């Protein structure tokens, strides 16, 4: 006995919805360990970040805080946002733009002792990008060169 076309369409719609739901649930389950919330140094210092959970810590690298350890690949530094600073430990090669006084985002986990153990460091660049060919010119020369173009 054949089903009516109306029932066939209903079954297809239900199967399609179930397949989409299953795909969404599988994607969420697969990405659950990759989800990382963004916190500032003040929020971490206030205890808003859970120990051991993957998070992103953002702020400015404190001046005078970068310490390279003897193994050559591990560094310690502090990330702050004004009133608070959080110590960070990172093992790996830092980006070229990573330096004291610049913005950085560290991905990792907060340890029991309050140190942020980073798995990855992302350096923020300055909004005032200067092409390398204009890097050594004064602002008046740059303005004149821009007008000539």
Domain count, the chain: 2
Is the pLDDT reported for residue 145 higher than 60? no
- Phi-psi category of residue 79: left, alpha or beta, with phi > 0 → left and psi -120 to 50 → alpha: beta
Q: Is residue 86 part of a domain?
A: yes
Q: What is the mean pLDDT of residues 83-93?
A: 92
By the 8 A CB rule, do 122 and 107 touch? yes
- What is the spatial distance between Cα 31 and Cα 34, in angstroms, rounded to a whole number? 5
Is the pLDDT reported for residue 117 higher than 60? yes
pLDDT band for position 131 (cuts 50, 70, 90): low
Average pLDDT, the chain: 82
Q: What is the mean pLDDT of residues 18-35?
A: 84
Q: Is residue 50 part of a domain?
A: yes
Do 50 and 13 lie in one domain? The reply is no
Domain around 72? 37-123
Q: Is residue 56 part of a domain?
A: yes
Other beta carbons less than 10 A from residue 77's beta carbon = 24
pTM for the whole structure = 0.62
Do 117 and 46 lie in one domain? The reply is yes
Is the pLDDT reported for residue 149 higher than 60? no
Do 28 and 44 lie in one domain? The reply is no
Residue 143 — φ and ψ, nearest 5°? -65, -45
Do 79 and 107 lie in one domain? The reply is yes
Here the CATH number for the domain that contains residue 65 is 2.40.50.140
């Amino acid at each position: 006995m054949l089903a009516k076309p109306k029932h066939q369409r209903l079954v297809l719609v239900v199967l399609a919805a179930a397949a989409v739901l299953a795909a969404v649930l599988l994607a969420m389950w697969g990405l659950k360990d990759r989800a990382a919330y963004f916190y500032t140094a003040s929020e971490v210092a206030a205890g808003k970040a859970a120990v051991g959970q993957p998070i992103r810590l953002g702020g400015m690298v404190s001046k005078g805080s970068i310490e390279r350890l003897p193994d050559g690949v591990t560094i310690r530094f502090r990330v702050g946002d004004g009133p608070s600073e959080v110590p960070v430990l990172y093992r790996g090669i830092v980006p070229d733009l990573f330096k004291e006084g610049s913005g950085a985002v560290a991905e990792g986990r907060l340890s029991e002792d309050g140190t942020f153990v980073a798995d990855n460091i992302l350096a923020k660049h300055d909004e005032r990008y200067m092409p390398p060919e204009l890097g050594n010119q004064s602002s008046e020369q740059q303005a004149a060169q821009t007008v000539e173009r």
